[in-house]
Structure 1
């Protein structure tokens, strides 16, 4: 049975007349546990009896586990929750920038408090704080996931954040809708670009691939021939294939290990040596903690490994491009390197969609003409939104829409519905009609209506 005992305070090595109470209670393994610091005997005994009651009911959690700092628990939790590199890098950002600076040294049972988390979210999100409300909401969600892990491991009795809706930022926080394109708009954007730069946004609007699936597409998976039969007659189509193992380009942040750090220092030494040989002044840069890597890997999920039917006009454009393209990946840079999404968007898509100012001709620069805005804010993600919007508008069956977009069919309808050749033909016919309509509208607007810009700039 729990019992309390006095604990006298010591000053200058001598016991004083002041004291607190310490309770001793029997733990599940038969040993005696203790907890000091109670101001009265009754409070100490009540606390001890609560522990023994929890032990008898099987709900007891050791006080030292409840006192585990969040930062220490996160190290344990991360070893049991290995995710894809992109997920790990996004979690690392949220932990380093928002969660651990606030609660890294705070005991788990104190973090597990809805009121405290609400106050933190309000303080961190704009306009009160410096973080975007969506980022703070992601951090709050991650904190709940971490606390659920602590609950499963027996470090806290229950995750009090689970299932609780915590508003972040203003209740009227509006998310900007993704910008999608009409056929003439994406045609006009593509006409402003050359070669592969022109083909990339155009192809994505008519295929609906994710950025990584487009940028990582291999030439061996392009324009594969498939034959079906409709009413006893052959129906031939061409597809692009998203490979289940290496069908997507990933751009993720990795923490530098010892080998990676040594490699970075060797590269930095070589850079400094090169600068010195040229007589240039250069200072040694600070070693980074992380490195961003581009690599091929599996697509988002098993449904993302798929084949997407290509409309006839795009079959022609893509075939001409691949024939002249010397690199393995048709949508790589002109030098054959993988694109970084931000580089392509900034250098190619933004001026083509948002417009640009004219620059006068001067010595060493030929100058450039001004471009009026066509579709401000359009992105490669918007191209994927565009394709699904078109399919919905054209009455493409849901089964084919899900297959084309690489979505997971979670309901009973998705389990039982199947894609037919008629559905495929209908989608391809409607996309071909959109392409022709886009050119007609552009012609009326005075835009060049030829396919020269697609091949212009492609290596021969």
Structure 2
């Protein structure tokens, strides 16, 4: 008896043609017929099964036996004749998942699966073929990445088995197989983390590299809340409230360059408690920058990109803020020297012009319109990594090289423009080699562990979910929240004191004000 089988968004008809042999209702081209309801699928399946039996009534038992053998021999050629490339395209089109997941599947299929299996018939793909492919990929890529790509292959072939194109899944990973030695290759390097002082120093350097305070506030907010990168970029000003930051959306960067506004990962909506000093830091930033709705989404975001190209190392010259810091004057004064020199005192004008010469400032050498949002790679490559390590990464045609600095004011102002390396007087020492923006999320978890924070509260702040019985019977109290906020405040003040001991001033405006308040 035939039946209707539910699939994603449709039903397909299935009917028996022999012991243990199921067939799918297909059209003239051999493609699965999609039915809108289970009843229609079952009716069509029953009709096909009845037709199959009717066609064999007048045949002898010997003829029926020959037919069964022929069916077994010919079935893969009929239903399995579809190639992996054809089926993968059809399979991908049927998926209805988050944009980030669809992007990842597309990348896995196009870059790693199709080059190997595209022309292979589904029924002809063997386990030895899959194992050989995985071995070849591991020689070129990280084992964890190959494991992910094999999981996608397993998922595609599992659906092919369900649809009757194959009898078994050759990509299934068998337990207890393979060599025991060398399994440590699946373990990645330990994630680099930093402490409260490291966060502060890195935040200061990113602000110096970008030439504004925004990056300082963003790095500190990320380090003391554990928010994901997409959640920081997609943080809207309406969700920054006294003593809390509400995570409602993220901006996920697709391969096309589009920033897709979507819910946070795993629907981890949450309110993160923030100390009073952090709430004040963010609210002051919003009041100072007065963010406007972006053109791409129409929402008002707390942070915006620091430049059109988003690449400090590739700037054609220093910025006005660099000249102002070097000369010890405001940005407005530098602008007056350029546009209305008669309105500036001679002594100040000479000081500003000297700073321009030392920095290699070229008027009009900067990109024009500021981009609406940071790009993950640009922020990490040209701001965060140089701040954490003191080195610009290798980027053709340039080789890896230290960030060239002018020694004053401490901790040094990045020199830009032609001949920047020749004019440099110092360079930064590394703070945390290998630290990434996501490493700040790990750092926040590590800090909370050191402070003895209850696991339930840690999971809430990070947007994790623990389904264990222990978590079900654990609850967060106001006292737990306040103890964590008090401990984070102590760490922040200790970091400020340590920074003050290094130098009581900072060329970063917001940090300079905080240090003056510590005197």
TM-score by length of 1: 0.70
Q: Determine if contact 2:505/2:512 at 8 Å carries over to the other structure.
A: no
Secondary structure of the residue aligned to 1:292 is coil
Q: Does 1:383 align with 2:440?
A: yes
Partner of residue 249 from structure 1, selected from 236, 241, 251? 251
Q: Which residue of 2 aligns with 1:100?
A: 114
Secondary structure of the residue aligned to 2:434 is coil
Q: Which residue of 2 aligns with 1:256?
A: none
Correspondences of 1:261-300 after superposition (within 5 Å): 291-300=256-265
> In the aligned structure 2, how far is the partner of 1:105 from the partner of 1:153?
19
Partner of residue 221 from structure 1, selected from 239, 251, 257? 239
Secondary structure of the residue aligned to 2:206 is coil
Q: Does 1:196 align with 2:208?
A: no
Q: Which residue of 1 aligns with 2:226?
A: 208
Shift, 1:449, TM fit: 6.6
Q: Determine if contact 2:81/2:121 at 8 Å carries over to the other structure.
A: yes
Correspondences of 1:111-260 after superposition (within 5 Å): 111=125, 113-126=126-139, 130-164=140-174, 171-173=183-185, 174-194=187-207, 195-222=213-240, 224-225=241-242, 238-243=243-248, 247-253=249-255
Name the CA shift for 1:349/1:106 in 2 (closer, same or farther; >3 Å): same
> In the aligned structure 2, how far is the partner of 1:372 from the partner of 1:390?
23
> In the aligned structure 2, how far is the partner of 1:380 from the partner of 1:363?
27
Q: Does 1:82 align with 2:84?
A: no
Name the CA shift for 1:406/1:68 in 2 (closer, same or farther; >3 Å): same
Q: Does 1:337 align with 2:398?
A: no
The structure with the largest strand share of the pair is: 1
Shift, 1:376, TM fit: 1.3
Correspondences of 1:387-398 after superposition (within 5 Å): 387-398=444-455
> In the aligned structure 2, how far is the partner of 1:157 from the partner of 1:440?
68
Name the CA shift for 1:163/1:27 in 2 (closer, same or farther; >3 Å): farther
Q: Determine if contact 1:61/1:156 at 8 Å carries over to the other structure.
A: no
Partner of residue 382 from structure 2, selected from 337, 340, 347? 347
Counting matched residue pairs gives: 360
Q: Determine if contact 2:506/2:512 at 8 Å carries over to the other structure.
A: no
Q: Which residue of 2 aligns with 1:419?
A: 476
> In the aligned structure 1, how far is the partner of 2:490 from the partner of 2:158?
51
> In the aligned structure 2, how far is the partner of 1:323 from the partner of 1:46?
84
> In the aligned structure 2, how far is the partner of 1:149 from the partner of 1:395?
46
Q: Determine if contact 1:439/1:449 at 8 Å carries over to the other structure.
A: no
Q: Determine if contact 2:85/2:117 at 8 Å carries over to the other structure.
A: yes
Name the CA shift for 1:70/1:313 in 2 (closer, same or farther; >3 Å): same
Shift, 1:300, TM fit: 1.1
Any gaps of 5 or more consecutive residues in structure 2? 1-16, 19-48, 57-62, 208-212, 292-299, 307-369, 392-401, 407-414, 514-519
Name the CA shift for 1:410/1:64 in 2 (closer, same or farther; >3 Å): farther
Shift, 1:27, TM fit: 10
> In the aligned structure 2, how far is the partner of 1:348 from the partner of 1:94?
29
Q: Which residue of 2 aligns with 1:323?
A: 287
Shift, 1:364, TM fit: 6.7
> In the aligned structure 2, how far is the partner of 1:88 from the partner of 1:311?
38
Q: Determine if contact 1:210/1:384 at 8 Å carries over to the other structure.
A: yes
Q: Which residue of 2 aligns with 1:313?
A: 277
Q: Determine if contact 2:130/2:170 at 8 Å carries over to the other structure.
A: no
Q: Determine if contact 1:190/1:453 at 8 Å carries over to the other structure.
A: no
> In the aligned structure 2, how far is the partner of 1:202 from the partner of 1:76?
46
Name the CA shift for 1:384/1:151 in 2 (closer, same or farther; >3 Å): same
Deviations 1:63-112 (A, max 9, x none): 4223321111112212332221221122212211211111111122222x
Partner of residue 454 from structure 1, selected from 510, 514, 518? 510
Name the CA shift for 1:63/1:355 in 2 (closer, same or farther; >3 Å): same
Q: Determine if contact 2:223/2:444 at 8 Å carries over to the other structure.
A: yes
Shift, 1:447, TM fit: 4.7
> In the aligned structure 2, how far is the partner of 1:48 from the partner of 1:124?
43
Secondary structure of the residue aligned to 2:258 is strand
> In the aligned structure 2, how far is the partner of 1:320 from the partner of 1:132?
44
Shift, 1:295, TM fit: 2.8
* RMSD value, Cα: 3.4
Deviates more, 1:80-89 or 1:419-428: 80-89
- Which structure has more relative contact order (CA 8 Å, sep 6+)? It is 1
Secondary structure of the residue aligned to 1:295 is strand
> In the aligned structure 1, how far is the partner of 2:217 from the partner of 2:387?
13
The structure with the largest helix share of the pair is: 2
Shift, 1:184, TM fit: 1.2
TM-score by length of 2: 0.62
Q: Determine if contact 2:76/2:123 at 8 Å carries over to the other structure.
A: no
Secondary structure of the residue aligned to 1:307 is strand
